[in-house]
Chains A and B, each alone.
Chain A
């Protein structure tokens, strides 16, 4: 796959502070890519540089082979974006807001506007003034705005702000559809790991403006996938019984009792036999959930947070 976006040594200094420090990575066509980092990590500043709102101190961003500084118009033509909150003209209707941007983009007619309104599910309220919109509705309008000209790169800064869980799931489905069927490269930022895990193929973890790591989420292929270390949460009636059944069992590296069940560190290939073992031991299993702890651990470690479900080890 060709790279849609390339960042090379991207750096931003404001005064004496280095807000974005030497970021280098590529984003291929059709990938949903996440910027994950705590507030103040430099995600928005990176996005501002990518769309030319802010000057670049050093390094470069290229979009579909066009440098965003030297060939700004060719590069930005490929991009749809929301930077921070989707701010609209409140005294105009949603439709009039979209019309504003349609007039600045080549080849966007009224039919296209209506298609996008329908796509984001705003048909019922598009002729109301934006004043009356909730943040979630403005996010949708922002998404419609970003998609008007059929961009090949979509950049969304904290797009889940103001969305309810159903809205987040819907957004995730939209982004996946765009990425899979139209080859759109989607870049989303967030300070919430759980959302990134749901939405992204790969995540770049950023802290203090520096790239900590780029991680692939979930579906690594083949043997790599089978060997991937996992944490599995099993909800059972008797956690201590389950602990006894699994402690030392083949492929189980570590078991710990947690609230309403056990947590098992293992590899993906062993998950079915762990389940069988519990069933054979006559333990009622209500839920068996893979928790991709490795990324979360790293994220919590670097952001200095504590896991929400603090473990109580029985060893």
Chain B
């Protein structure tokens, strides 16, 4: 299994594309830093700091989600597109192990990208506005009360909840990649869902079954800041719905990878 994981990591990190993704994330944070530095007034400057900048940096998570969805959408389909799948599957290794090593590699890439984004945001914010400020209070409205938490808690929670959307998006992309054996379809569909999902779910909010839709549930920030999309939804409910979707997506990937003929 370690050999398989190493193989998949080699295939991801030997591609120039992967390093372009990292460069784009770093560049985006630097540009954001410059813009904030020049537009914010002097008063704001005093409040701005590394952790605050990091908290605002969660806007860039979508960039990570897109790049991770590209890797997820490519990792199975590209083997079919290249034809290398034939060399891959004629080994004394069970097909499910190969699939699992690919999925774990997608997760590892996603986590690395996310951590890279956070570190870059923190460092850029620190260089422009000074490090520190981790314990500054952050205020937000929850229901009818105003809650106050340390800034770093808010930052970690933002990224943690964004990671849920990231996980579900790459899993969808991975499933489409395995099912249709087409990278472009997997990448296009999963990014489309990422952006259209929120629109769709708000349009359908008056129907009760809207609460069972994936996109209604995968943004868990609705339970920390703001209000649930469908009245009466709880975070426990959303977690259960997401878990069910996750299991279904994995089952579809598993079945289509281990049972179907390879005609590439």
Binding site for B on A (CB under 8 A): 48, 51-55, 73-74, 76-77, 79, 81, 83-85, 87-92, 96, 99-101, 103-106, 145
Contact = CB atoms under 8 A, between A and B. Distances in A.
13 contacts: A48-B261, A48-B263, A51-B90, A54-B261, A73-B92, A73-B94, A76-B92, A77-B92, A84-B83, A89-B11, A100-B7, A103-B6, A105-B92
Interface of B: 3-4, 6-7, 10-11, 14-16, 82-84, 86-94, 261-263
Contacts of A55: 261
Given A53-B261, A103-B3, A87 B86 contact: yes
A13 to B, nearest CB: 12
Given A51-B90, A104-B91, 12 more contacts: A48-B261, A52-B89, A53-B89, A53-B262, A73-B93, A74-B92, A81-B90, A84-B83, A87-B86, A91-B16, A100-B11, A101-B87
A207 B101 CA distance: 40
Nearest to B8: A100
Indicate the member of B6, B11, B14, B86 with the most A CB atoms within 10 Å.
Answer: B86
Given A54-B263, A103-B4, A105-B92, A96 B14 contact: yes
A100 B93 CA distance: 13
B256 to A, nearest CB: 13
B87 to A, nearest CB: 6
Contact of B90 (A79, A84, A91, A106): A79
Contacts of A52: 89-90
Nearest to A12: B261
Contacts of A100: 7, 10-11
A95 to B, nearest CB: 12
Contacts of A89: 11, 82, 84
Contacts of A74: 92
A99 B10 CA distance: 10
Nearest to A93: B14
Nearest to A50: B90
A105 B16 CA distance: 28
A48 B91 CA distance: 13
Contacts of A103: 3-4, 6-7
A4 B261 CA distance: 25
